[in-house]
């Protein structure tokens, strides 16, 4: 083994497929001297480290918890028989540690060497964590290609910086944590989707006993660097690279902290991961920061925006484009432009009714409730005007024991990198003051980590126009960004534009 392995002396181990009794050994995690690949070696007491009794390649190995101090390591083996037929099979090694603390450290070392995210100072004992084997909830719902691009996006410091530099966002998280120190002091915290690790560091600043920073993208390595560079806080933080749907933690959390909000709150489908993390890691009566979220909606009137979008389709009204009549495609182009929601900041005076909202309680909702969200709309117009669509934004509440703090993305409030979102009707509605506007906002999740938006709005004086809007994390977000030329900073939009 090369370079500072994690050593566990005096473990008992047995090969479950062999009849041999349990033997004493030293378990050593490290990188193979020739391959450089992470390995777990079990060296029988008194034997030479160069000839381990068991040598497990961690790349294909899984670990399962059998009991408080017992683990089952399963790995792939193959055997060439008579040089022709190759048989592959699984090998399972049971490892029993001496204490529960050592047991936690063993499973965390297993996971961290497997993923080569080395936590803490060199030679320092690591705490628990392990990967579960079967296809996770995340993998069954989300297309692999979407997940790959999504985590690639978040793996880049540029995009983490974009979020960190959103002062309203980062400052509100900081205030929410610091004003509620009693919720963090001496507590175990899980940071769900830690990114750069900033929220874990805030939790540690507020006195957390230990923080597990779970991050699925390559950013985990940078988060680890940040922890090492801030040792007084970092020594209480364990960075784990993996999806919250897949990693296992050694203890329950008293509080979850996360920033899982996308455009319209639900875009990216990360709220589902937040709720899954709650069910997997949070102790009964544990807290969640944020605690609840609300989607706010109101009809708006914006003649300029309407004309801007309609004008984009004018190109297709040319009868003689290099001798070709483009007009047969005008209708499709017109509908296409209107089916892209607009992400930008607007003046709240464009709203023509008081907003309504729909609440999501992260502490009690089921993950499945996020697959389809159906919101009935009912407004009373304050003025007689043309209604061009529905404006949406969100806020989240940190329901601390000391202070309740809201993070809002409302129009008129300081702008955030989420801006606001507007669905624009291709046929505006005419309304009179006092007239009722009814409809439905129907959000349906899809496997590319986003939602299709179906919007219906009607007023008594007009026909019932139905407009279908789409946001998704791939091509339409790209249009969404270029649509207004004002949202170049919109979250995830740029990465998705390059897909
Ligand atoms: N907490 C950081 C980053 C927020 S962005 C901050 O506030 O600045 C959301 C982060 O969650 C991204 O880095 C993304 O890679 C990560 N993430 C999203 N889904 C995840 C999942 N299922 N498991 C683990 N990490 C996830």
Say yes or no to pLDDT of 33 above 80: no
CA–centroid distance, residue 214 to ligand 1 (Å): 8
CA–centroid distance, residue 358 to ligand 1 (Å): 24
pTM of the predicted model as reported, rounded to 2 decimal places: 0.75
The lowest-confidence range among 174-178, 377-381, 435-439, 494-498 is: 494-498
Over range 136-142, report the average pLDDT: 95
Say yes or no to pLDDT of 346 above 80: yes
Confidence label for 493 from pLDDT (cuts 50, 70 and 90): very low
The lowest-confidence range among 121-130, 166-175, 212-221, 403-412 is: 121-130
Question: Measured from the CA of 191, which atom of ligand 1 is nearest?
Answer: 1
Question: Measured from the CA of 217, which atom of ligand 1 is nearest?
Answer: 15
Nearest residue to 253 via CA among 193, 177, 190, 180:
190
Over range 314-332, report the average pLDDT: 98
The lowest-confidence range among 18-27, 387-396, 418-427 is: 18-27
Confidence label for 134 from pLDDT (cuts 50, 70 and 90): low
Mean pLDDT (the chain, rounded): 86
**Ligand 1 atom 11: the closest Cα is on which residue?**
193
CA–centroid distance, residue 240 to ligand 1 (Å): 12
Residue percentage of the chain with pLDDT more than 90 = 66
**Ligand 1 atom 25: the closest Cα is on which residue?**
193
**Ligand 1 atom 20: the closest Cα is on which residue?**
193
Q: What local confidence, expressed as pLDDT, does residue 307 receive?
A: 98
CA–centroid distance, residue 195 to ligand 1 (Å): 5
Q: What local confidence, expressed as pLDDT, does residue 108 receive?
A: 79
Whole-number Å distance between alpha carbons of 271 and 445: 12
The lowest-confidence range among 188-197, 274-283, 475-484, 486-495 is: 475-484
CA–centroid distance, residue 207 to ligand 1 (Å): 22
Query: Do residues 11 and 97 touch, judged by C-beta distance below 8 A?
Result: yes
Q: What local confidence, expressed as pLDDT, does residue 183 receive?
A: 98
Over range 320-335, report the average pLDDT: 98
Query: Do residues 427 and 309 touch, judged by C-beta distance below 8 A?
Result: no
Question: Measured from the CA of 163, which atom of ligand 1 is nearest?
Answer: 8
Q: What local confidence, expressed as pLDDT, does residue 116 receive?
A: 61
Instruction: Mention every residue, 6+ apart, whose C-beta is less than 8 A from residue 231.
Output: 121
Q: What local confidence, expressed as pLDDT, does residue 397 receive?
A: 99
Q: What local confidence, expressed as pLDDT, does residue 130 receive?
A: 46
pLDDT tens figures, 43-94: 888 777 777 788 888 877 888 888 889 888 888 776 655 555 556 778 889 9
Per domain, the residue ranges of the chain are 2-131, 137-289, 293-497
Question: Measured from the CA of 195, which atom of ligand 1 is nearest?
Answer: 13
Say yes or no to pLDDT of 401 above 80: yes
**Ligand 1 atom 16: the closest Cα is on which residue?**
193
CA–centroid distance, residue 55 to ligand 1 (Å): 34
Name the CATH architecture for the domain at 137-289. 3-Layer(aba) Sandwich (3.40)
Whole-number Å distance between alpha carbons of 478 and 496: 6
Q: What local confidence, expressed as pLDDT, does residue 457 receive?
A: 96
Highest mean pLDDT among 5-9, 54-58, 116-120: 54-58
Q: What local confidence, expressed as pLDDT, does residue 132 receive?
A: 45
What is the CB < 6 Å shell around ligand 1?
Answer: 138, 151, 154, 163-164, 193-196, 198-199, 214-217, 219, 243-245, 259, 270, 273
CATH number corresponding to 293-497: 2.70.160.11
**Ligand 1 atom 23: the closest Cα is on which residue?**
243
The lowest-confidence range among 77-91, 184-198, 247-261 is: 77-91
Say yes or no to pLDDT of 345 above 70: yes
CATH topology of domain 2-131: PH-domain like (2.30.29)
Residue percentage of the chain with pLDDT more than 70 = 85
């Amino acid at each position: 083994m090369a370079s500072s392995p994690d050593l566990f002396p005096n473990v008992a181990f047995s090969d479950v497929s062999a009849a041999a009794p349990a033997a004493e050994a030293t378990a050593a995690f490290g990188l193979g001297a020739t391959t450089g690949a992470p390995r777990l070696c079990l060296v029988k007491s008194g034997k030479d480290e160069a000839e381990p009794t068991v040598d497990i390649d961690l790349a294909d190995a899984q670990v399962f918890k059998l009991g408080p101090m017992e683990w089952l390591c399963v790995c792939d083996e193959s055997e060439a028989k008579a040089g022709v037929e190759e048989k592959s099979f699984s090998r399972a090694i049971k490892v029993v540690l001496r204490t529960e603390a050592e047991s936690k450290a063993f499973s965390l070392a297993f996971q961290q060497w497997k993923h080569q995210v080395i936590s803490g100072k060199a030679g320092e004992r690591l705490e628990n964590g392990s990967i579960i084997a079967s296809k996770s909830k995340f993998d069954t719902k989300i297309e692999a290609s979407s997940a790959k691009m999504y985590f690639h996006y978040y793996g880049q410091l540029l995009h983490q910086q974009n979020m960190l530099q959103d002062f309203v966002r980062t400052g509100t998280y900081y205030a929410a944590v610091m004003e509620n120190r009693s919720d963090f002091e001496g507590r175990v915290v899980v940071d769900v989707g830690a990114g750069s690790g900033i929220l874990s560091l805030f939790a540690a600043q507020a006195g957390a006993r230990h923080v597990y920073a779970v991050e699925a993208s390559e950013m985990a390595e940078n988060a680890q660097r940040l922890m090492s560079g801030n040792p007084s806080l970092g020594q209480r933080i364990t960075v784990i690279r993996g999806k919250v749907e897949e990693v296992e933690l050694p203890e329950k959390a008293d509080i979850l902290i996360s920033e899982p909000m996308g455009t319209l709150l639900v875009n990216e489908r990360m709220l589902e991961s937040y709720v899954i993390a709650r069910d997997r890691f949070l102790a009964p009566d544990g807290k969640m920061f944020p605690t609840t979220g609300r989607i706010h909606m109101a009809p708006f009137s914006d003649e300029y925006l309407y004309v801007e979008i309609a004008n984009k389709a004018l190109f297709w009204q040319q009868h003689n484009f290099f001798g070709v009549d483009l007009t047969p495609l005008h209708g499709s182009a017109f509908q296409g432009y209107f089916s892209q929601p607009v992400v930008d900041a607007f003046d709240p005076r464009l709203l023509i009714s008081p907003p309504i909202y729909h609440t999501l309680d992260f502490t009690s909702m089921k993950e499945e409730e996020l697959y389809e969200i159906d919101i009935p709309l009912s407004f009373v117009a304050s003025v007689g005007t043309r209604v061009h669509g529905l404006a949406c934004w969100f806020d989240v509440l940190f329901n601390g024991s000391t202070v309740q703090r809201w993070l809002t993305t409302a129009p008129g409030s300081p702008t955030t990198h989420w801006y606001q979102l507007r669905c624009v009707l291709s046929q505006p509605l005419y309304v009179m003051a006092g007239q009722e506007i009814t409809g439905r906002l129907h959000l349906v999740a899809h496997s590319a980590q986003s939602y299709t938006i179906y919007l219906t709005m009607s007023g008594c004086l007009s026909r019932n126009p139905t407009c279908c809007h789409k946001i998704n994390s791939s091509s339409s977000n790209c249009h969404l960004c270029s649509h207004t030329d004002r949202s170049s900073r919109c979250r995830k939009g740029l990465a998705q534009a390059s897909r």
